[in-house]
Amino acid sequence: MTPVFCCGFECGRIGGVPVGQSAIHWQTGGASASISTTTVRSGARSGRLNMTGVGTNINTTIASTNLLVARFFVYFATLPNITCLVAGAVFSTTAGVYFNVSDSSLYAGTGSTGSIALGATGVPIATNRWYCIDIRMDCSNNPRLIDTRVDGVALGQKSLAVASASATSFKFGSDESATYDAFYDDVVLSVTTGDYPIGPGYVHHFVPTSDGTHNIAGAADFKRGAAGVDILNATTDSYLLVDDVPMDDATPDTDDYINAIAPANATDYTENKFGPAPSIPTPVVAPRAVDAIVAYHQAGTGAGTSQFRLNDNGTEDTIVSLNGIGVITLRYSRKQYATMPGGGGAWTVARFNDLRIRFGFSSDANPDQYFDCAMIEAEFAHPPLQIVAITKPSRNRAATV
């Protein structure tokens, strides 16, 4: 698989970032969207759309593409009251998977309000259970071809005789003024046609859980917060400053971050090792997709520099390099790793379980550079014949064992 995005909504954020700053996983145009911690399929969170006669969505930005493959899970607490989009993308015309109110079924389809066209056959769905949805939206030729599977069952293909077009985002939600309550989890996207269908899998999250090997020249280079004590090579608990779950929102914490105040060399950095977030087991199989997210800000709006690098204790890669006029409110950056850093080949369990994030590498730390928090969201395939759905009375969730 060659993924370009994966997410289980574990970052705990939908929107809440400045206009034009879309590096957090999900954006939304309405108040109907939220994060759920009670109805989840795996991990600790899911995305929720609880709509009452409105058309809104939660969406993620992708590089422009005329072919998009998606896999996600959906759980309806209440089914839509009209025929509407469930998930898809806009390739000049919306394409994806739709709910048909006349038979309470999911279909491959195209179009939006007043012009929805569905494939020949669908699959009936019900409330209060998770469904695995695979979609391939191939809009690279005329006709455009939309393929969908529900729990592995193929729906009738939808063909649309119009010219090719590209999309720049993927979305959950309806273009129509619908009423329904739905939860989404364990999302992975690809732009490779052969990846369809991606099939069952799950997304778990990982945060800094220990310190690695810092490379700090001396005192007063890195500090705990704005005016805290030094972080030195011997420090073993700086990870507590950057392990926030959910990730920080647009308003930075006062002192809960690593501060690059005056590194003596552009090679100086702090290093924190990732580990499973609370309630997440240590992986025993390699991931298929790894998405690294970092949150940061700086002391003033001057032009400072810093970098965040992902290191698997073998190869290093830059997640984001900051070089220019900065901001004092929180910003986010993310990067997908279909393979190990630096093109190191398919992920292995050992290298994934030894992931570290390095912060610093500043040639100009004026104003101070702040590392607020980091998270890895990683997608894993379900082992064959080892998936059990467990319903907990108080949490209504499924677990992978």
- If one counts every other C-beta atom within 10 angstroms of the C-beta of residue 383, the result is 12
For residues 323 and 228, membership in a common domain is answered with yes
* Four-residue CA torsion sign, 127, 87, 382, 285: negative
Calculate mean pLDDT across residues 272-287. 96
For residues 186 and 230, membership in a common domain is answered with no
For residues 174 and 237, membership in a common domain is answered with no
- Give 200-215 pLDDT, tens digit per residue: 999 999 999 999 999 9
**Looking at the domain assignment, is residue 398 inside a domain?**
no
* Four-residue CA torsion sign, 83, 87, 91, 95: negative
CA distance 214 to 316: 15
**Looking at the domain assignment, is residue 387 inside a domain?**
no
For residues 332 and 251, membership in a common domain is answered with yes
Burial environment of residue 342 by CB neighbours within 10 A (0 to 12, 13 to 18, 19 or more): middle
325 in Cβ contact with 364 (< 8 Å): no
283 in Cβ contact with 375 (< 8 Å): no
* Residue 29 confidence class, pLDDT cut points 50, 70, 90: low
- Give 245-257 pLDDT, tens digit per residue: 999 876 777 789 9
For residues 113 and 86, membership in a common domain is answered with yes
Q: Please give the pLDDT value at position 386.
A: 37
For residues 157 and 256, membership in a common domain is answered with no
Q: Which residues pair with 163 in a beta bridge?
A: none
If one counts the domains in the chain, the total is: 2
For residues 186 and 222, membership in a common domain is answered with no
- If one counts every other C-beta atom within 10 angstroms of the C-beta of residue 343, the result is 10
pLDDT greater than 70 at residue 383: no
Percentage of the chain beyond pLDDT 70 is 93
Of 174, 200, 226, the last residue of a domain is 200
Domain span at 246:
206-380
**In whole numbers, what is the pLDDT of the chain averaged over residues?**
90
CA distance 273 to 213: 9
**Looking at the domain assignment, is residue 109 inside a domain?**
yes
Calculate mean pLDDT across residues 86-105. 96
Q: HSE-up of 149 (CA within 13 Å, CB side)?
A: 15
CA distance 94 to 76: 22
Sequence-separated (6 or more) residues with CB below 8 Å from residue 293 = 11, 23, 24, 25, 247, 332, 333, 334, 374, 375, 376, 377
The CATH code of the domain that includes 285 is 2.60.120.260
For residues 356 and 250, membership in a common domain is answered with yes
CA distance 336 to 197: 20
Calculate mean pLDDT across residues 287-291. 96
Token pair for 200: 């069952």
- Tell me which of 107-116, 176-185, 369-378, 386-395 is least confident: 386-395
Nearest CA among 208, 170, 200, 178 for reference residue 42? 200
**Looking at the domain assignment, is residue 400 inside a domain?**
no
pLDDT greater than 60 at residue 181: yes
Of 182, 200, 218, the last residue of a domain is 200
Q: Please give the pLDDT value at position 175.
A: 79
For residues 241 and 270, membership in a common domain is answered with yes
Q: Please give the pLDDT value at position 387.
A: 36
- Give 79-90 pLDDT, tens digit per residue: 999 999 999 999
CA distance 26 to 200: 22
Q: Please give the pLDDT value at position 16.
A: 55
Calculate mean pLDDT across residues 189-206. 97
CA distance 76 to 164: 33
For residues 278 and 359, membership in a common domain is answered with yes
For residues 220 and 180, membership in a common domain is answered with no
- Tell me which of 75-89, 147-161, 374-388 is least confident: 374-388
Beta pairing, strands 46-54 & 356-360:
unpaired
Q: Please give the pLDDT value at position 391.
A: 39
Token pair for 225: 């917060």
CA distance 255 to 240: 11
Burial environment of residue 278 by CB neighbours within 10 A (0 to 12, 13 to 18, 19 or more): exposed
Q: How distant is the alpha carbon of residue 261 from its chain centre?
A: 30
Q: Please give the pLDDT value at position 17.
A: 53
pLDDT greater than 70 at residue 18: no
